[in-house]
Amino acid sequence: MKTVGLIGLGNAGKPIGERLLGKGYSLRIFDLRAAAGQELIQQGAVATASPAEATSEVTITVLPSSDEVRAAVMGDRGILAGMKPGFILLDLSGTDPVCAREIDKLVQEKRGEFLGGTLHADGAPALTIPKGLVSIVVGGKKKSLEACISILKDLAQKIILLPEPWIPKALKISIILLSTANTIMAAEICSWLVAQGINPRLFLKVAKETGSSATASRIEQFFRRNKNYGGALSNSHKDLRHALKLAADLNLPLPFSSLANQIQEMARANGLARLPSPAAIGRLYELLTGVNLGKAVLEDERPVAEPGQPRIIELGDF
């Protein structure tokens, strides 16, 4: 069984470590917060003093943003210092496409291989990752993907393979852009309805009964904003900033995304950054409009799917 290095033991990294240990992998771990790894150590993981020491045949990074990834990869005693020819770095962090391209080049210079991936879970990582109820979109050379496929299958229900390591990063940010736009519009619509004396749940019921399933799904997601199914506003704000910076470099105007980012800035200024993004936007609109959105809430839990056999899907030309 392969030895896996795991760097980053936060909301997603720690349950990934637990699942890998449960599948029989040897695990070498590192986190800037030594206490973050104590439970994994008790389960058999080996603590290390630096990313270089944690670096193994396959090393997985699960860090918040490109800044932390660059530090872990390029810093003193970073992953590059511990990388040997043929080693694979699988980045499942909140990395932007520019950073992924940069790290791909550096890893190849060390005669290693780089895979860029993203985690997609319909629920909190602490609940979905231990059961393998996640999808992983991952890009890179086919040979490297095949070398990691057993690890990926042990982590996820669905593995989507793409030909370049930066593409999953761009696609994940695209999903966040669309989700943010939907959340803002849902908050505005519900505020508009409540101000007229209309219960927003009627809107949801009408959308369902008239076959507007896509609209109903987006509204229902907003109604469940207090259930912590998605990431914090700080995470989606980071992704929008990445998108806007890259767009500026490409001389590409993104007027709506710019406006959405300003709305996020307003939420951050009101101390809402750590709330799930839909919850933060809902609260912001209550502050802006003076309208109580308490009726635009569903408290029942969504049904949780049972794990099945992992599926592998190849997209793009390898």
State which of 144, 165, 186 marks the end of a domain.
Answer: 165
pLDDT band at 152 (very low <50, low <70, confident <90, very high): very high
Q: Is residue 29 located within the same domain as residue 123?
A: yes
Mean pLDDT of the chain: 92
Check residue 111 and give its pLDDT: 96
Percentage of the chain modeled with pLDDT above 70: 97
- Which pLDDT score is estimated for 303? 61
Confidence category of residue 229, pLDDT binned at 50, 70, 90: low
Tell me the per-residue pLDDT of 28-59, one tens digit each, with 9 for 90 and over: 999 999 889 899 999 999 999 999 999 999 99
Which domain, by its residues, includes 133? 3-165
Q: Helix (H, G, I), strand (E, B), or coil: what is residue 70?
A: helix
pLDDT band at 304 (very low <50, low <70, confident <90, very high): low
61 or 231: which carries more pLDDT confidence? 61
Question: Model's pTM, two decimal places?
Answer: 0.91
Mean pLDDT over residues 282-310, rounded? 85
1 pLDDT higher than 60? no
- pLDDT tens per residue, range 77-133: 999 999 999 999 999 999 999 999 999 999 999 999 999 999 998 777 777 888 888
pLDDT at 145 over 70: yes
Q: What is the pLDDT of residue 126?
A: 74
CB 58 within 8 A of CB 112: no
My answer on whether 46 and 94 are in the same domain is: yes
Rounded Cα–Cα distance for residues 238 and 232 (Å): 10
Residue 256 belongs to a domain with what CATH number?
1.10.1040.10
Domain boundary among 165, 181, 201: 165
Q: Domain count for the chain, please give it.
A: 2
**Residue whose tokens read 């950054």:** 273
The answer to whether residue 314 is domain-embedded is: no
* 98 and 190 inside one domain: no
Residue 305 in any domain: the answer is: no
Residue 317 lies in a domain: no
How many Cβ atoms sit within 10 Å of the Cβ of residue 183? 27
Q: 143 with 194, same domain?
A: no
Is there a single domain that holds both residue 19 and residue 160? yes
Q: What is the pLDDT of residue 302?
A: 62
One domain, residues 223 and 158: no
Q: Are residues 142 and 183 in the same domain?
A: no
Q: What pLDDT band is residue 317 in, cutting at 50, 70 and 90?
A: confident
Q: Supply the CATH number for residue 56's domain.
A: 3.40.50.720
DSSP 8-state class, residue 157: S
Looking at the fold, whether 111 and 148 belong to one and the same domain comes out as: yes
Backbone angles phi, psi at 314, to 5 degrees: -100, 130
Q: Does residue 20 share a domain with residue 85?
A: yes
Same domain (yes/no): 223, 277: yes
Cβ atoms 226, 279 nearer than 8 A = yes
Residues 20 and 147 placed together within one structural domain of the fold: yes
Distance between CA 268 and CA 259 in Å, rounded?
A: 14
Q: Residue 230: pLDDT above 80?
A: no
CA geometry: angle 97, 102, 105, nearest 5 deg = 125
Which stretches of 70-155 are assigned E, i.e. beta strand?
88-91, 113-121, 134-139
Q: Which of 103, 135, 165 is the last residue of a domain?
A: 165
Mean of pLDDT values over 153-180: 96
Q: In this structure, is residue 118 part of a structural domain?
A: yes
Distance CA 86, CA 285 (A): 51
Are 185 and 100 in the same domain?
no
